[in-house]
Amino acid sequence: MAEAGTFCTQFLPNFSPKKSRRSKFLIPSMCTSRTIRVRSAISLPSSETLGTIPWGCEIESLESAITLQKWLTDSGLPPQKMAIDRVDIGDRGLVALKNVRKGEKLLFVPPPLVISADSAWTCQEAGEVLRKFNVPDWPLLATYLISEANIGVSSKWHPYISALPRQPYSLLYWTRTELDTYLEASQIRERAIERITDVSGTYNDLKIRVFSKYPHLFPEKVFNMETFRWSFGILFSRLVRLPSMEGKVALVPWADMLNHNSEVETFLDYDKSSKGVVFTTDRSYQPGEQVFISYGKKSNGELLLSYGFVPSEGSNPNDSVDLSLSLTTSDPCFKEKLEVLKKHNLSTPQRFPLQITGWPLELMAYAYLAISPPTMRQHFEEMAAAASGKTTSRKGLKYPELEEQALQFILDCCESSITQYTKFIEESKSINLPVASPNQVDRRLLLKQLAVNLCTSEQRILFRAQYIIRRRLKDMRAGELRALSIMNGFRKLFK
């Protein structure tokens, strides 16, 4: 189930803490490594710590969305061919009012109605302080949202914030117990824990370096972990990167009422000729039909991570599952292999994405390294470089003498994961976490169903990989048997 209005195109798909060259704040950035790492210093939320935000609306509220549409029109939004309505996919969405042709440009949201790091603060002093500390765009925008939300109708953005969900669909709102119980079989659990701890770390960093020094501007009763969980949930699900505006990240009211379809490829960008944020349709729509956009080529796990929904089984051509590969500590070359992995910013275990259509060359290179005997020591560096993607060859490494063993190693990893998924899916029917209210019953039933849908889709990909590898190994071993049979025949012939 998608939240109407949650979308992201050309978005930062992973949240990885890195230090900015201009400041000491944690910032999200492209995460190229899939190393499994969990920082346990920051605790995850419990059901008792998940509070209620005093602004925003219920996620399915149509009234607030219609008020938003009227305010946008009064503020300069041009006449639209779409309107907000209840939809089957997502609680709210944009539907066509007229016939929409394929290749037609829609939206035309002008820059004054776009929220970015350059937007003016109602509380100017607070904005000046954050800029003085060179706070990067993400935490700056998160703080900006809270600041504008807190002053209510005095903010220019009050109608927009009133239409934002009070609690976004996001794994940021899953408790540690829920993550451990419902996502125990999926690698997305580790990614969720990373994201939650990164958001907590970003807030704590801001609190120490800025908020504590200016308590009159950033009182803790307003700028706290709960409000930051909300603001980052909004950013993860709605922030877009606009290529034609030098990659500026922004919130685009109205546009973020569009829902996602995995088969749609169109995305938002700034159109210099019309001076507005637009998207170009890649299909036609009839009046009353919901109009979709792409949140990016994301797996079901990534969609659950940021947006809180899982597409129906088999409907996402970009779906993938992370397969974890590890070195064996009993390997006589374990230390040497670990050193070359670290040299190329890899670790053990290491995650690689599998898709229905196959897997990356980097996975095979890592498997070669993992099973290589000491006699292959001179190739360790080459294997690690290929596993990190630092190779000029697009065909990957070829070690015929190791291929069967490497494929068997990958197969064993697949089957181990399949076993975990099967166990979870079978036991999910009897999972009943304690609840304190009827609302929690509904919520946890939803979370469990999302988890089952995710695990079913990821298991499907693993089954496909298992089938392909087994067929390949069968052909290889049949070929070896044929070759051995021929050799034995020659031996008998020449006796």
Is pLDDT of 16 > 50?
no
Q: CA-to-CA distance for 68 and 253, rounded, in angstroms?
A: 9
pLDDT, tens only, 345-361:
999 999 999 998 889 99
For residues 431 and 449, the answer to whether their CB atoms sit within 8 Å is: no
For residues 7 and 293, the answer to whether their CB atoms sit within 8 Å is: yes
- In the chain, the domains with their CATH numbers are 18-307 (3.90.1410.10), 320-485 (3.90.1420.10)
As a whole number, mean pLDDT of residues 133-137 equals 94
**Cα 388 from chain centroid?**
21
| Residue 37 confidence (pLDDT) | 31
pLDDT, tens only, 246-291:
888 999 999 999 999 988 989 899 998 888 999 999 999 999 999 9
pTM value is 0.82
| Residue 482 confidence (pLDDT) | 59
pLDDT, tens only, 421-472:
999 999 998 888 876 667 678 888 889 999 999 999 999 999 999 999 999 9
